[in-house]
Amino acid sequence: MIAIVDYGMGNLRSVQKAFEKVGAEAVISSDSSLFSKATALIFPGQGSFPDAMNILTRQKLIEPLREWVREDKPFLGICLGLQLLFDASEEGDAKEGLCSFKGKVVKFAPRGKIPHMGWNTIDISGKGKECPLFKDIPENSFFYFVHSYYVVPSDKSIVAATTQYINKFTSIIWQGNVYAMQFHPEKSQDRGLSIIKTFCDMYA
């Protein structure tokens, strides 16, 4: 069973439907006791970094999420679910993130349309060429993005793919059994479903 973290932000049902479409059982829950029964954790999200951290704090989910990633259990972060893994964000009032990875979340420079919204490609390079999620994904495949901020990891070795919009930014990180992406695989049609299916084949 896969658990989808419900912290009141993001299109949880569409994420759940994407997992169901590839044949996986996915349960939406904010109950951290369910995590112990899950084979993998999905951490989606849309909205504000500070608001999300406030909600996670109220729900007492901060430490369970940190522990899950620290123990290298199967994890898939989506959009805000990627950004929250880092130390802090420029968005809104200064707010600490989950601090699972060193680095920060910054806003795109005002040299183009913000948010970055729509289809864009990913450049799989370096460590990304070994990433198991990409086994059925050709180079320069298109995925669907909606975001105004992006992550800047301190440790470049966790970067599995980048994307060009205004500047080159990290679009996927990978370390051990932990994966997180800026785009929305659940909105990315066949390529997105392929990533979800590969993840489920490994961990569901």
- Per-residue model confidence (pLDDT) at position 13: 93
Give the residues across from 2 on adjacent strands: 26, 40
Q: Which of 116, 131, 147, 184 is catalytic?
A: 184
Q: Are strands 40-43 and 86-89 parallel, antiparallel or unpaired?
A: unpaired
**Contact call for residues 43 and 179 (beta carbons, < 8 A):** no
Each residue's pLDDT, cut to its tens digit, for the chain (204 residues) gives 999 999 988 789 999 999 999 999 999 999 999 888 999 999 998 889 999 999 999 999 999 999 999 999 999 999 999 999 999 999 988 679 999 999 999 999 998 899 999 999 999 987 889 999 998 999 899 999 999 999 999 999 999 999 999 999 999 999 999 999 999 999 999 999 999 999 999 998
- Contact criterion met (CB below 8 Å) for 102 and 159: no
**What's the confidence (pLDDT) of residue 92?**
85
Tell how far CA 83 is from the center of its chain. 7
Helix or strand (DSSP H, E) at 194: helix 189-203
- 8 Å CB contact between 5 and 164: no
**What pLDDT shows up at residue 94?**
66
Please indicate whether residue 99 is annotated as part of the active site.
Answer: no
Active-site pick, 79, 91, 131, 200: 79
pLDDT of residue 148: 97
DSSP per-residue codes, 21-74: HTT--EEEE--GGGGGG-SEEEE---S-HHHHHHHHHHTT-HHHHHHHHHTT--
Q: List the chain domain ranges.
A: 2-203
Q: Determine whether 79 is an active site residue.
A: yes
Half-sphere exposure of 152 toward its Cβ, with a 13 Å CA cutoff?
A: 11
Q: Which of 91, 131, 186, 200 is catalytic?
A: 186
Distance CA 44, CA 7 (A): 9
Residues for the chain: how many in total? 204
Tell me if 162 sits within 8 A of 128, measured CB to CB: no
Would you call 116 a catalytic residue per the annotation? no
CATH number for the domain running over 2-203: 3.40.50.880
Alpha-carbon dihedral sign for residues 91, 116, 80, 97:
negative
* C-alpha separations of 56 from 14, 39, 66, 88 in Å: 21, 21, 11, 15
